[in-house]
Chain A
Amino acid sequence: MSLLLDIASVVAIAGGAFFFLAGTVGLLRFPDTLSRLHALTKADTLGLGLIVLGLLPTVDSVLTGAKLVAIWLLVQLAGASVAQLIARAARQDRPQGVPQDGPPP
């Protein structure tokens, strides 16, 4: 049982690390601000979720697990809100460079 849990942990954490890597590659390679934001925040939210999921079987108390989940929720909230704020600022700065996924302002 503990071996199975360990394998699940490793798989989830490796998956999380992969999403972080993918998000970072997207941040470096995507052409415009909105796509870069998309890559960064979405992939990181999923990646951190997987890492927290992978760490949960290894914690020694319920409180520590709850803290990990709380951290994930807070990062989700911060990431999503800040992505919206930066996107808004980017659009106000450069109205002519409207990306494909947004209507012209």
Chain B
Amino acid sequence: MTAGIAVDIGLAALVAAMALWTILVRDAYAAVIGFIGYGLLLALVWVRLDAVDVALTEAAIGGGVTGVLLLRAVGALHRGAAPLEDGPPPGPATRRIAALACAAVAAGLAFVVLGVSGPAPTLAPLAAEHLPATGLKNPVTGVLLAFRALDTLLEKVVLLLALIGIWSLSPDGAWGGRPTLGRPGRASDTLRFLAQLLPPVGIVVGIHVLWVGANAPGGAFQGGAVLAAMWILAMMAGLSPVPAIGRPWLRAALVIGPLAFLAVGVAGIFIADGFLAYPPAFAKPLILAIEAAITLSIAVTLAMMVAGPPQRPGAP
């Protein structure tokens, strides 16, 4: 027991140190590396808290996909011809006000978190009691896909909106064209080797993570992130062309998840108790079907987010 506490204290100290480093370091590249390490440490924290579902998501999204996204952003900043013109650096008064505002937010958060007395109110017993009705064994998937399905649906829409936001940064001439990922035609042999060897394994792992999500830690987001990583790897190595963002199949893959979710949700009004309700006899197959569609959409959305806005016109 004491060994566990020692590990927890060490882990907490490491997370805090990593967070500080990420904020304080001057170099953007070093900050991103720090952020990736921070995400992986945070995943370990979630494992220690027995929240393996969250740990998987944190490692895949917080450490993995966000890390690549930020690395590419730093790379794009370095490639830019002229450095960003921010005007004169902020004066001492501006800095003091910013520091005060940040300190006030931190103090407010500390006050709220430390002020909670007793155990926080929880719906966990209620969720556990009704889990058998969904046919699932993983309570996290039950909450995400059945009890709080509306939140999950909106989350997927937010993901799509984020991608639209990225695409809206594309130059006029490149709209509907191809994003650039990696250095086309100049990928190293090592990268090509890795991109040939890893995806067969990764695709199986991604689908496995989705499938076991019904009964054990895993699910659409984690599986989708693994699949996205495999596609990104293949595109970076030049083994798979980056699709033009105007392609109909790409657009269809992006929206099929939210659309399937919405369709089942609306059907719930007629064949079950209401919007986003499942008929008890078909709850599990319906949830798995939605998850499969969502996984595809998440994988494509994440990969296209990493690929970024289109840079060159491509045949639509």
What is the interface of chain A, defined by CB distance below 8 A to chain B?
A: 74, 77-78, 81, 84-85, 88
Contact = CB atoms under 8 A, between A and B. Distances in A.
Nearest to A74: B201
Interface in B193-234: 193-194, 197-198, 201
Nearest to B194: A81
A74 B193 CA distance: 14
A28 to B, nearest CB: 15
Contacts of B190: 81, 84-85, 88
Q: Do most interface residues of chain B lie in helix, strand or loop, or is the interface mixed?
A: helix
B280 to A, nearest CB: 32
A74 to B, nearest CB: 7
15 contacts: A74-B201, A77-B194, A77-B197, A77-B198, A78-B194, A78-B198, A81-B190, A81-B191, A81-B193, A81-B194, A84-B188, A85-B190, A85-B191, A88-B188, A88-B190
Contacts of A84: 188, 190
Contacts of B194: 77-78, 81
A85 B187 CA distance: 10
Contacts, number: 17
Contacts of B191: 81, 85
A77 B197 CA distance: 9
Contacts of B198: 77-78
A77 B199 CA distance: 12
Nearest to A70: B201
A10 to B, nearest CB: 15
A33 to B, nearest CB: 14
Contacts of A78: 194, 198
A87 to B, nearest CB: 9
Contacts of B193: 81
Interface in B159-211: 188, 190-191, 193-194, 197-198, 201
**Nearest 10 interchain pairs by C-beta:** A84-B190, A81-B194, A81-B190, A85-B190, A88-B188, A85-B191, A77-B197, A85-B188, A81-B193, A74-B201
B18 to A, nearest CB: 16
Nearest to B189: A84
A30 B191 CA distance: 26
A78 B193 CA distance: 11
A84 B188 CA distance: 10
